[in-house]
Structure 1
């Protein structure tokens, strides 16, 4: 295949010290945005009881923040390529602070849906950081760097245990105020210390060319639909799942869900490093097979769940999904070295949508059958289909970048 090319060459990566510093700043910014993105899910079971919602209504409330963020990843990727991640992330942080404040004061179901939809914009923060970090990082280190950036997913873990605790002790309004204040302060820090790579020039990303690249793009999008979508779906739905299965308190369920997120997040840079060494397709094949096995176990547990097996299955699934996330985003800049922003936006949008549909499906299945079994069976089918597609990529290598040293094999 041929790698998509842009109208201007990539800037040379900055120095190692500058790259590490800006990678750290971007990872923190991403984590804060994702912490706000995950504010509603941990308190959804209590809201369901307080407002008398069905499982389907609750699932919609949990999933709604994913929608707008998924759709906006593509335009935010374009904007980042044109004006730089420094300015775009500054805007994103300020917006996120305001959205978090709004969630704190939303009390009706309609208000929560509206706040969740607006909060969803923060999910597009991922597409801002990917080209920003890639510009600072030499190609041979991008798998590691983008994996480290993905550690920002830990923001959902922060929300999972902190939002219920603050809500129980001081109220939902205080939770919104605390999150808004912390993010606003960091917006000032980001503007003061983060920088775009020296000498960067605005890039007009060839979205039409990337979209016409065909099966390669669709396959990467499907991989991320399952790996990142599966991570998001489990991370945001796990508090409800655990309270339904084991009648846990919101704080206890949130802490356990945070463990899932932390392990998945820690596994992401590991997946990137393994992809650097062994190839993304090999890492993905193992990850998808593992996810399918875990989904079989959860479908078996759904009728009569037990804490120890469920914990083992969820944590191993977290590791497989996290490694898969890191592997996919090692492959994106390798296949599209001059169109990283465009490809990131498209693939990232697919991943975001992957996090939207499973919670809805689980809610509908639970209302219809009383159990979650069918939802996990469908995950088995998707995961093992993707394992077969990843195997087919073992002999596929992206073409060298014209005039460059060549892309890193996937």
Structure 2
């Protein structure tokens, strides 16, 4: 498969078009971060306001991945990815013409939705590749597409400087931001014209009911509610720094209002989920004779275990959630621990994560494809994450810098390969709701970053690394005991695999 990767024909043609669509969605998502100080000077923003914009840029990504996953399963990845890229022009235009902080807040909130583009490509790649190749294909898609964030860091400042002649000698950040939206919108049209949802002769599998994920039992329903609550709680945590005295973006009553709004959304989501699954859950009215009484049993061919989704969400929290958190603090960690200059520390962070990810995430998927067990591949990678972070928690100024870099690279490899292994399993759970499954699992990557950065804000780097290590080892043990190998994990055709029957 590695040799055929460069053939740009058949399913590999779709893979390349799709990872580049994901790449552009991440360029748009992170288009203001590398230009933040220039924007700050131009619009007279405070450092605290920049922090607010960074939080706003993450806020809607978590719910957007869930919503986009449902839309995706219904309308197909071709239409959804194309629409997402075309609509990227709207927040980019708002940002490029912004004259005050409030306009940037709205554009940052809307731009965060671009982070949901990842979910769309997971379903597209799953439709075109057989199970025996799905890990490597998803790894290429995720690893190369994720590089869009790093590409924005490297190219947009240079573009803004190169076009100063169009803005009276000032750094042209507005044009740089606008161009990301224009390029994404144009590529959205190209993508729509050049891809199909499935290979010729294959039918796109859609869920029978829309609006929420179908589950197979009442226990699975309550487990799904617990996962949903975790996502909404992580969004609530994001409001906390906005009330701090140095930022003071939200008043105390406004924070309570946000929590009330999030609680209302959770209750609405719970009700929609119950509507889709009322036969397996029963009535929620204690006075009803059918209170919590199931009236439906799915045929074995349609059943799947929801705990597979819960476990993979946990693994993605431990790998991709850690990746997002560590990359944001790693330059400062090296700078302060080893007295490095800012440029050198930034280069070490870039090598450890964005550049290494180009190889490590695909290799995680490839190892999962070539091994005899996806379950134990996932378990071992997660255990490696735990050991890696526990080693990193011991790094201090007395360590040799080369050894510290080696430990960091080793840990980063397990983190990124683990993410590749996670999404070698996601498409194999239940094909017709792959978008929703990818949405939940992907959202928990963002949940992980929120949780870990919250731990960091209240403690220090060494405590953060220790926490990440312990959480990963707990996750590895759970995978070893409870994660199941999907049937047809290594099938050579596009048969729709199922996991074993749930209880």
Cα gap change, 1:406 to 1:195, in 2 (>3 Å): closer
Deviations 1:321-379 (A, max 9, x none): 111111111111223244322211221221222233333443x23xxx6x422222211
Equivalent residues of 1:303, 1:373 under 8 A apart: no
Cα gap change, 1:172 to 1:303, in 2 (>3 Å): farther
Aligned to 2:427: 333
Cα gap change, 1:265 to 1:108, in 2 (>3 Å): farther
SS in 2 for 1:295: helix
Aligned to 1:277: 370
For 2:401 and 2:28, the matched residues in 1 are separated by 29
Give the helix-richer structure, 1 or 2: 1
CA RMSD of aligned residues (A): 3.4
Cα gap change, 1:165 to 1:291, in 2 (>3 Å): farther
Alignment of 1:157 onto 2:150: yes
SS in 1 for 2:31: coil
For 2:419 and 2:30, the matched residues in 1 are separated by 18
Aligned to 2:191: 190
SS in 2 for 1:208: coil
Equivalent residues of 2:375, 2:485 under 8 A apart: no
Alignment of 1:23 onto 2:15: yes
Aligned to 1:78: 70
Aligned to 1:203: 206
Deviation of 1:124 after TM superposition, in Å, equals: 0.5
Alignment of 1:359 onto 2:453: yes
Aligned to 1:53: 47
Aligned to 2:471: 382
Within a 5 Å distance, the mapping from 1:163-312 to structure 2 comes to 163-166=156-159, 170-197=171-198, 198=200, 199-201=202-204, 203-204=206-207, 207-209=213-215, 212=221, 213-238=305-330, 248-249=341-342, 255-259=347-351, 260-278=353-371, 279-301=373-395, 308-312=402-406
My pick for the range that moved more, 22-31 or 160-169, is: 160-169
Considering Cα pairs closer than 8 Å and 6+ residues apart, tell me whether 1 or 2 has the greater RCO. 1
Deviation of 1:52 after TM superposition, in Å, equals: 4.9
Equivalent residues of 2:119, 2:439 under 8 A apart: yes
Deviation of 1:303 after TM superposition, in Å, equals: 7.0
Alignment of 1:125 onto 2:117: yes
TM-score of the pair, normalised by structure 2: 0.67
Unaligned residue ranges in structure 2 (runs of 5+): 1-7, 163-170, 222-304
Equivalent residues of 1:66, 1:355 under 8 A apart: no
Aligned to 1:138: 130
Within a 5 Å distance, the mapping from 1:65-104 to structure 2 comes to 65-104=57-96
SS in 1 for 2:206: coil
Alignment of 1:392 onto 2:395: no
Deviation of 1:31 after TM superposition, in Å, equals: 0.8
Deviation of 1:100 after TM superposition, in Å, equals: 3.6
Number of positions where the alignment pairs a residue of Structure 1 with one of Structure 2: 384
Equivalent residues of 2:32, 2:177 under 8 A apart: no
Cα gap change, 1:351 to 1:184, in 2 (>3 Å): same
Cα gap change, 1:112 to 1:44, in 2 (>3 Å): same
For 2:439 and 2:477, the matched residues in 1 are separated by 25
Deviation of 1:158 after TM superposition, in Å, equals: 0.7
Deviation of 1:153 after TM superposition, in Å, equals: 1.0
For 1:257 and 1:298, the matched residues in 2 are separated by 14
Answer with 1 or 2: which has the greater Rg. 2
My pick for the range that moved more, 142-151 or 294-303, is: 294-303
